[in-house]
Structure 1
Amino acid sequence: MVTPMTRARARARAVRLAVSEIPLAVRRSARQQQQPPEPAADVPDHFLCPISLDMMRDPVTAPTGITYDRDGVEVWLERGRPTCPVTGRPLRPEELVPNHATRRMIQEWCVANRALGVERVPTPRVPVSAADAREILEGVAAAARRGDAAACGRMVARARALGKESERNRRCLASAGAERALALAFSRLAAASTDQQAEARACALEEILAALVVFFPLDEESRRCIASPPSLDALVSILSHGEQVTRVSAVVVLREIASSCDNQCLEAMSKANAMYDALVNLVAKPVSPQATKAALVTAYYLVKNDIEHAASRLVDLGTVELLVELLADADKGTTEKALAVLDTVLVAAKARDRAYAHALAVPVLAKKTMHVSDMATEFAVSALWRLCKNSPADGGCKAEALQVGAFQKLLLLLQLGCDGVTKERASELLRLLNASRDSTECIETADFKGLKRPFI
């Protein structure tokens, strides 16, 4: 005999059935949300830096008796305020003393509150002093003078490791003239003619390049050392035959020198054996995006400095075709730099002939006139203007530009707004393309839906 369930039992069963239908993950999430949040650890006031009000990681004490976090007080002093932030008394960086007692107390407190999510503050390393920096750099210079490549490489590796360890160390070594010492050591080792230490010398040169990147920017004296003929020959050799990481360092150093627009350095780079071959090879067979972009920037400044020679060399190496194919599928930064080089090279008639012969040149340039960046638009419009303006009367450059929609894109570009040379060249391009339109051409009205007023 079946007895009817009471109303209370029926309600309880319905609740159980409803709960069982809820996914397990959702039920766990609901229980977690119902749990009260874990209490946060309150940092004791005497563990806080008076400048940043954050817990100190490397406490140092000034002669005034006030303890600060090293990073905070050193930034304060570097900004031209040589006083104790709390008392206002004179304070110099070398007067700061590590407060080991406070640091140990902070570490013990972190360990005791680990359950509340507090991470232990690591024991800070002793920062490099000005005397230490001078000693290291003097060791680099002395080893380079006596031709001891192995010892020089070891000292350079130490300087680079310290510079990468903290920004404070990097600034300290840079203030002591790290970039000059490294550049001079590179120049001396590159000029060494002996083959007895060839392997050690190559390793030392690679180590110096990696260290130079840490201590950018380079001053004029450093750039001139690297731009000496023996140094440039060594750089080109590394670009062509070095390991991947070393090739990246080498081309980044070249970019730093080229972008300084130092005419003496640019002329020396342009005359270096196989310089253009090495740069083009880095673009054709990329080792990293950073290296590709650095090679493009270097090539751009070389062409700007000597259009006739540099453009001719790059064209002979197939750079026009390489850049067009690169632009077909490149990220924003690479696109901007590749367009800059292409626009600069197209000043030469030989480069334009190569572009006319490439099926993708005009379509790619038309496509890059919009939707990349203002810089890309500027260079794409300029490159397309050079091609169309200098196109032979019987050439198909203008007709091809019309077919790929360059006319409509330029109209929209002017409507949306552009300034300076880009506006002038876009307007002239429109006149050139309009003169090439024939009666059979039809432009879809949809192409003008972004315009707010008719083009006159």
Structure 2
Amino acid sequence: MISSWRKIRASRHANKRIGLDDISNMEVSIPTHFRCPISLDLMKDPVTLSSGITYDRQSIETWIEAGNNTCPITKQELSTLEPIPNHTIRKMIQDWCVVNSSYGIERIPTPRIPVTSRQVTEMLARVVAMSRSEEASACREVVAKVKRLVKENERNKRCFMANGTVGALASAFEAFSKVSFDKNVAVLEEILSCLSLMTPLDGEAKSYLGSNSSLSSMVWFLKRGHLSAQANSVLVLKHVLSTDQKKMEQFCSIEGALEALVKVIKEPVSPTTTKASLLIVYYMVSISSSRVDEKIIRRFIDMGLIERLLEMLVDCDKSICEKALGVLDGLCLDSQGREKAYADALTMPVLVKKILRVSDLATEFSVSIVWKLSKNETREDGGVIVEALQVGAFQKLLLLLQFGCNENIKDKATELLKLLNLHREKLECIDSMDFKNLKRH
């Protein structure tokens, strides 16, 4: 009797366990009206179009950005492309997630409502009006809000850029830079910070930021600003100066501008800032030769830029390497630049090391520099030509011609081989990667 009761009890417990396991393994069915009609997934940010159909924001915005102006379901032409958040459906989905949390379903977070074109237009109107009335503090608050919204998500950034934000901010920057600079440092720094997030700049923005007052303000930040202000100034200047010779000459004429730029290279703030600074200098030294440009190149040389570039090239990433070599190639057009390169023991080992090692562009610049130095070598003992041979330049150049290269580099490599061949008499080659025993002259 007792034995039979125990069996029955054990059987009941087993049935209970089976029931619980079955429930936990059941698949939860998502209600149809919680699914996006496009992706068929659970909606995380439900929005309703003017047609009355609700979609997940990401899906419908992708549809609209592809150039469609109709509702995917009804095919009805939309009276407005601004979707409206459906708070009722979102709350229902969130409640459903909570109820079904035991099945591993996580509650969707309440999404931040993205900015609308109307809101953007209103904020920009305030920025422009405040810049005209010189309300620096109030303008700074609005710009800070713009920056926060831009950083919030990519959708907001696109909305701001599509509604002329860059031009409006650039106009405000110029307006505040024209009046009392000391009083407007804070708002200018805030605008600059916001602009650095919204590159590339359009023509209108470049015009405002390329004015003498705007450039002078950015130079001030380069010289005396915080690290973040220096970084933002360089990033904006890179787009403003670009290949515009007139703006470059205007920038160079500002007292301390070149020194501030070289300082950012010598005392790096970040890799991004270093790349931007090198690119600006590259634009300057690559402009067609003129008396003004020669003076600029000489100033860079006198500031010790060649020595700094060679130090950087010993160990740097691909992007910085290419830009540093590009600048060095431009500086070696000048006789004083070549003299500085001749005097540095790192020159040939570093340059030869970069050939066929980093990228095609780095190889082209390296060969070009070695060619300039070798072609203009006047020392009877061969100088840099002998150094190039010792660190394996002959073998590298033969490989380069074998693998193939553009005609310009091919001609220089061929000429270099002829120069190197004149000094190949029993010279021992060393590894171009071994810099530890090198000393400066």
Q: TM-score, normalised by structure 2?
A: 0.86
Q: Deviations over 1:120-153 (max 9, x none)?
A: 2221222222221111011111111111211111
* Displacement after TM superposition at 1:51 (Å): 2.7
Query: Which 5+ residue runs of structure 1 have no aligned equivalent?
Result: 1-36, 448-456
Structure 2 gap segments, 5+ residues each:
1-23, 433-441
Q: Say if 1:443 and 1:171 are closer, same or farther in 2 by CA, change over 3 A.
A: closer
Matched, 1:272 2:254: yes
Aligned residue runs from structure 1 range 130-279, under 5 A: 130-193=117-180, 195=182, 198=183, 201-259=184-242, 261-279=243-261
Maintained 8 Å contact 1:327/1:364: yes
- 1:46 pairs with one of 33, 46, 60: 33
| 3-state DSSP of counterpart to 1:215 | coil
- The one of 277, 289, 292 equivalent to 1:295 is 277
Question: Cα–Cα, structure 1 residues 411 and 99, in superposed 2: closer, same or farther, change >3 Å?
Answer: same
Q: 1:362 and 2:348 equivalent?
A: yes
User: Residue type of the partner of 1:269?
Assistant: F
**Superposition RMSD in Å:** 2.3
**Alpha-carbon contact 1:402-1:433 (below 8 Å) kept:** yes
Matches within 5 A, 1:414-425: 414-425=401-412
- Distance of aligned partners of 1:117 and 1:385 in 2 relative to their CA distance in 1, 3 Å threshold: farther
Instruction: Report the residue type matching 2:208 in the other structure.
Output: C
Number of the residue aligned with 2:14: none
Q: CA deviation at 1:105?
A: 2.0
Q: Shift of residue 86 of structure 1?
A: 2.3
Matches within 5 A, 1:55-66: 55-66=42-53
Going from structure 1 to structure 2, the CA distance change for 1:95 and 1:295 (only over 3 Å counts) comes to closer
Secondary structure (helix, strand or coil) at the match of 2:405 reads coil
1:58–1:124 contact (8 Å) kept in structure 2: yes
Counterpart of 1:391 (choices 351, 359, 377) is 377
Give the aligned partner of residue 119 of structure 1. Answer: 106
Which secondary structure state, in structure 2, belongs to the residue aligned with residue 214 of structure 1?
A: coil
Identify which range, 165-174 or 111-120, moves more after superposition: 111-120
Q: How many residues align?
A: 404
CA distance in 1: counterparts of 2:249 and 2:364, whole angstroms: 27
Whether the 8 Å contact between 1:74 and 1:93 is mirrored in structure 2 is no
Match of 2:196, SS state, is: helix
Change (3 A) 1:48 1:373: farther
Shift of 1:443: 6.8
**What's the CA shift for 1:43?**
4.0
What percent of counterpart residues are identical?
45
Cα deviation 1:152-176 (Å, max 9, x = unaligned): 1111111111111122221222122
- Residues 223 and 265 of structure 1 are in contact (CA less than 8 Å); yes or no, is this contact kept in structure 2? no
Shift of 1:38: 7.3
In the TM superposition, residue 296 of structure 1 has moved relative to its aligned partner by 0.7
